[in-house]
Amino acid sequence: MAGGKVQIKKVKAYPFPATIKLGTTNLPGQIVKLTVQGFLVEFNLKTIKPGDKFDVYFELPVSKHSVNESCVVVKLYNQWALGTPTDAVPGSDGMGKEPKVAAQTPSPAVAPAKVAQLVECHFINVNSSSRERIQMFLNQIGRSGAK
């Protein structure tokens, strides 16, 4: 405490790591939004579909309380993202195409497209201590947690 001011360490609330447990497989993921009802998680599993059930484990930022609950997939959000040019050329339109000029230079190499997948999940019968921990976390970051 220097000069009567308290130093507060700011911690970014999202995203935070999670472990998705599908049968005997543990997959890493990133929770990008959390509510008392469920969460949005980003992870790479192409075979998941709405209605699939799995367990999730994560630690809440700051409080470090752990949550280990069963959940169900409600909705999938897939977004195709183009790669970034490996050799950016001034005047490029950002899509790997060059403006039409008399002397064309070779177009820059573009990384292959990839899919960013967000999965909306709802908790199944979340226990009261996990619900309280999640609500406490949401209150700490200024969110009500209702929806």
**pTM exceeds 0.75, yes or no:** no
**What's the mean pLDDT in 73-80?**
85
- Residue scoring higher pLDDT (75 or 89): 75
Give 90's pLDDT tier (boundaries 50, 70, 90). very low
Q: Which residue has the tokens 């939004």?
A: 33
Max avg pLDDT among 3-12, 24-33, 77-86, 138-147? 24-33
Query: Quick check: 121 pLDDT over 50?
Result: yes
Confidence grade of residue 141 (pLDDT, cut at 50, 70, 90) = confident
**What pLDDT is recorded for position 34?**
95
- Tens of pLDDT along 12-36? 788 999 999 988 889 999 999 999 9
